[in-house]
Amino acid sequence: MKKPKLNIHQNLSAPEILNEMNIAWSKGMFRETKDEYNKVSRVIPEIEWPFFAPYIKAINILKKEMNAVILAHNYQTPEIFHCVSDIRGDSLQLAKEAGAVEADIILQCGVHFMAETSKLLNMDKTVLIPSMEAGCSLAESITGEDVRRIRKENPNIPVVTYVNTSAEVKAESDICCTSSNALEIVNSFDSKEIIFLPDEYLAMNVAKETKKKIIMWKGRCEVHEEFTPEEIIEFRENEPGVKIIAHPECSPDVLAESDFSGSTSAMIKWVKDNQPKKVLMVTECSMSDNISVENPNVNFVRPCNLCPHMKTINLENILESLWNKEHEIIIDPKIAIKAKQAVNRMIEL
Ligand code: 13P
Ligand code: SF4
C-alpha cells in the first residue's frame, strides 16, 4: 500500500479529523467544490453546502491518500452518491464492479450484505462499511440453518438466493441472483421446481413469469412491503398522466398497478430513456433525488419510503470509517469459499 502523506491517527471523530486535516468552511471552498455542488444543486440548497463541503473535500483527499474507492448503492443520499463515490449502481452492478477494483481499500456505502459481497470478491483487500447498523430486513429474515432445513425438506431442488442475504446463507445456496436477473437465473435450471429465498414478493413476481414451481420463504423488504395497490391507484387518479414504476420487492398487486418494474438501475434507465413528464418511483426516496439531477425535465412525484438501514450512512461516518479504518468486513474463509462460488456463478451467467 502507498504510504499516506497524512499523519493518520486512529480513532478520531469526524470534526477532529477535519481539524487534523486543516479543513474548515470558507468562501473559497465554495469555488473549490463548485463542480461537486453543481451535481446536487437541484436537491441541496446552497445554504446547506457549508455543512457538506468540508466533509466532501476531506473524504476525496483521504481516498487518494489511502488508495481507496467508494462504492455507492442507488439508495445513498445525493451528496454521497454524486460527490464522493467512484462506482455507483444496483446490487448486480456493484458486485460486478467490486470484482474489478484495484485499490487497496473498498468503502461500501450501502448495507452490510453489499459490503460482504464486495469482500467475497476481494478477500485480499480491506472492505469497510461506515455503519454497522446498515442491515436489511430481508438479510435478517433467514439463516444458514434455515436453508439447510429447507433443503432437507425439499431434496434435490436447486436453491436460488437473493443477494440480500448474509455470506452464511449464500454459502448454503447453489447460486445468487439480484432483482435484475432473478427470472433469468431461475430459468437457467433444468429442474421443474426452484427454492427461491428469502424475498416472498420477489419470488411471487418471478413465479408469475416462469413455468417453474417456486418454493418461497417469508422474507420481506420493510421498505417496499409498505406500498399498497390502493395508494398507487389513488396517485394515478390524482396525478393525471403520471407514469408509475416499481421495484420488484413490492407486492404483485402493486406491480400490477405499475407501468414498469425493474431493479433500481433498470428504473433509472427507464426514466432516462422515456423522459416521462411526471413519474412516481415506487421505491426508496433517494432514488428520485439522485436521478432528478440528470433528468431536469422530469417531475418526480411521491410517495417514497426511506430505508432506515441505508440512511445510517452519512458523510461523517464515511470520513471516520476511512480515517480510523473502522468497521472492517471479516468473513470466515470456510464460509467465504462457498459463498463466493454462489456469487460468481451468478456473475458468470
Ligand atoms: P437493487 O439490486 O435493485 O439495487 O436492489 C437492492 C435493494 O436492496 C432494493 O431494496
Ligand atoms: Fe433491505 Fe429493503 Fe433496505 Fe433494500 S430497501 S436494503 S431490501 S430493507
Tally the residues of the chain.
349
For the cut 80, the answer to whether the pLDDT of residue 246 exceeds it is: yes
Enumerate residues 6+ apart whose C-beta is below 8 A from 84: 56, 59, 60, 63, 70, 72, 315, 318
Between 2 and 203, residue with greater pLDDT:
203
Residue identifier of the C-alpha nearest atom 8 of ligand 2: 136
**Model confidence, pTM:** 0.94
Q: Which fold has domain 224-301?
A: Rossmann fold (3.40.50)
Q: Which residues line ligand 2 (CB under 6 A)?
A: 111, 136-138, 164, 221-223, 249, 284, 307, 309-310
Q: For the chain, which residues make up each domain, given as ranges?
A: 14-134+310-324, 139-220, 224-301
pLDDT digits (tens, 9 = 90+) for 79-135: 999 999 999 999 889 988 988 999 999 999 999 999 999 999 999 999 999 999 999
- Kindly state the average pLDDT of the residues 231-247: 95
Q: Which of 75, 163, 165 to mutate to test the pocket of ligand 1 (most atoms within 8 A of CB)?
A: 75
d(CA 309, ligand 2 centre) in Å: 7
Centre a 10 Å sphere on the Cβ of residue 306 and count the other Cβ atoms it contains. 12
Q: Which of 71, 73, 163 to mutate to test the pocket of ligand 1 (most atoms within 8 A of CB)?
A: 73
pLDDT at 95: 87
- Kindly state the average pLDDT of the residues 332-339: 96
Is 224-301 the same fold as 139-220?
yes
Measured CA to CA in angstroms, residue 208 lies from 183, 211, 282 at distances of 10, 8, 20
- Kindly state the average pLDDT of the residues 319-336: 96
Q: Which atom of ligand 2 is nearest to the CA of 113?
A: 6
For the cut 90, the answer to whether the pLDDT of residue 10 exceeds it is: no
pLDDT digits (tens, 9 = 90+) for 272-306: 999 999 999 999 999 999 998 889 999 999 788 99
One-letter amino acid for residue 197 of the chain: L
Q: Report the mean per-residue pLDDT for the chain.
A: 95
Domain 139-220 carries which CATH code? 3.40.50.10800
Q: Is 137 in the pocket of ligand 1 (CB under 6 A)?
A: no
For the cut 60, the answer to whether the pLDDT of residue 42 exceeds it is: yes
Q: Which fold has domain 14-134+310-324?
A: Rossmann fold (3.40.50)
For the cut 60, the answer to whether the pLDDT of residue 1 exceeds it is: no
Residue identifier of the C-alpha nearest atom 7 of ligand 1: 91
For the cut 90, the answer to whether the pLDDT of residue 55 exceeds it is: yes
